[in-house]
Every structure is written in C-alpha cells, then in structure tokens.
Structure 1
C-alpha cells in the first residue's frame, strides 16, 4: 500500500518547569501533550478548527499514539515539534511528530531529537459516530488551506 505524506508543519514551544518529573526531566505523559498541541495547531493552520469541522458534521479522533523517547528534556529547553500527515486508502490515517530540542536551557543551540510520536487518527461523522471513508477528501472539503494536508492516497497502488 502506498502512502503519501504532507509537507512538514512545525510549532515551537518552551519546556515549562511544572512539566518535570521527580528525575528532573519532562514527564513521559507530557510528550503526548506536545504531540497533541502540534496536531491541533497543524489542523488549525489548515483551517480545521473544531468549529470548522463541526460545521461539516466532522471531528478528528485519536485512535492510538506511541512515543519513542530519544533524549531528556529539561525546564527551559526550547522545542520545535514537526508534524507530517500521511493518508492511505484506509479510513485511519497517520500523523507523525518529531520533537526536537533547538536550544538547551543554558542557551546552547542544539538539534537534538528528543522524541518521535506516532499517531493513528480517524475522521468521525458526528451524526453516525462512525469513521468516514476518504478522510483526506472530507478534510480537504472542510479546509481553508488544504495544501497543509498534503496529497491524498495513491489509490492506484493501494
């Protein structure tokens, strides 16, 4: 099955002191929140706010998420969270995030991969409460900037 990917999208955030665990680094659950923040910002930039989706009788649901931890993050670090959406011929689609430390708390410039977040998502019809077929097409129809969603699936090789 061939999967096409959208161009990367990214947001920047700073690590806050209250996100630390007893070991002095970012708590594992916070990485999921970083991925969620990047997802919501990516969809918002594409014109797919909850309000816009709701006007089309749709919402996006998270079906699964996995985080692969690569490096510690500490309070004061600056992060870039990139995201890429990939659609296939199936109802679920994927969104991948790379959490990269771009500056350490001491101000040193870095480019350290801190984590990779892999998510499986679906587009839910809010009336039937079922995943829709052709999630890419449905999102494009609701979007004000469909280029941020990337190409749809290559169904000729799926």
Structure 2
C-alpha cells in the first residue's frame, strides 16, 4: 500500500466567520483529492464518459480534530479502506494534515460505481481496480 497525497492552499473563500476552514471545504478537499488521483493516473473525465461510468457516494462523514486557519500548509491523503472483490462498492478514507504533523480531520466515504446510461450500480473496468489497489489497505470484505 502506498498513500497518495495532494497539497492544497487555503484560500480566503475557504474560511468561515470564525476565520478557520469552513466545514464544507473539508469535503471539497476530499473530492479534489479523489478526482486528482484518478485523473493523474489515467481515469480522466473523458475515460469515465466513454465507459459510461461514474462514482456515486452513499455516505460521507468527517470527524474534525484540529482547526485549520489561513496560512496553514495542508495536505490530504487518500486510502482505499476496503472494497468488495469486484470493486463495485468501496470505502475510502482521507486524512487531512496541517503543517506536516497535525491530523486535522478524517473523512470516510462509502461509494460504488454507476452505469451512467442505465442508472444502475455496475462493476468497473479492471483498470479501475488495478489503479485503486495502489492505495489499498484491504481488498475484499
């Protein structure tokens, strides 16, 4: 297993009236990390469109641990916590770290792949499973 990390910059628009990271920005950072990982590894929006497949999220939960403020250095990792054998359903986890060593939040999401033509859950191409095995903690439920 190997972690995937994505660095992000905190923008003024990411802050709430208390001058720390607004709660919805954490979820945005998680989505940014997942989409960046896929795109950087060949699963681009065009590939998804051509395959008539896309991710669907059933549950997304964030546990907030330490506040993030403007000027903090932030990185997000991505791990595949578990999946079923055909990778049609999965659980991913993001840890959001500030200033290299402070765990600020943990996002857990459960999802699956959807056939965008038939609007039904589906099994993704083998290339998807191969890619996500790079960041896997566990394969198989």
Alignment partner, residue 100 of structure 1: 97
- Unaligned stretches of 5+ residues in structure 2: none
TM-score of the pair, normalised by structure 1: 0.77
Deviation string for 1:101-120 (max 9, x for gaps)? 02xxxxxxx41001000011
Equivalent residues in 2 for 1:104-119, closer than 5 Å = 110-119=100-109
Which has the higher Rg, Structure 1 or Structure 2? 1
Q: How does 1:1-158 map to 2 (within 5 A)?
A: 7-85=2-80, 86-89=82-85, 91-102=88-99, 110-133=100-123, 135=124, 138=125, 140-141=126-127, 147-150=130-133, 153-154=139-140, 158=141
RMSD of aligned residue pairs (Cα, Å) = 2.0
The two structures have a TM-score, normalised by structure 2, of 0.85
Between Structure 1 and Structure 2, how many residues are aligned? 136
By how many angstroms is 1:147 displaced?
5.0
Alignment partners' CA distance in 2, 1:42 and 1:9? 7
Determine the C-alpha separation between the residues in 2 that align with 1:115 and 1:80: 11
Contact 1:7 1:148 in 2 (8 A): no
Q: Check 1:132–1:96 CA distance in 2 against 1; reply closer, same or farther (3 A cut).
A: same
Point out where structure 1 has 5 or more consecutive residues left out of the alignment. Answer: 1-5, 103-109
Q: Conserved in 2, the CA contact under 8 Å of 1:10 and 1:82?
A: yes
Instruction: Supply the distance in 1 between the matched residues of 2:17 and 2:104 (Cα, whole angstroms).
Output: 19
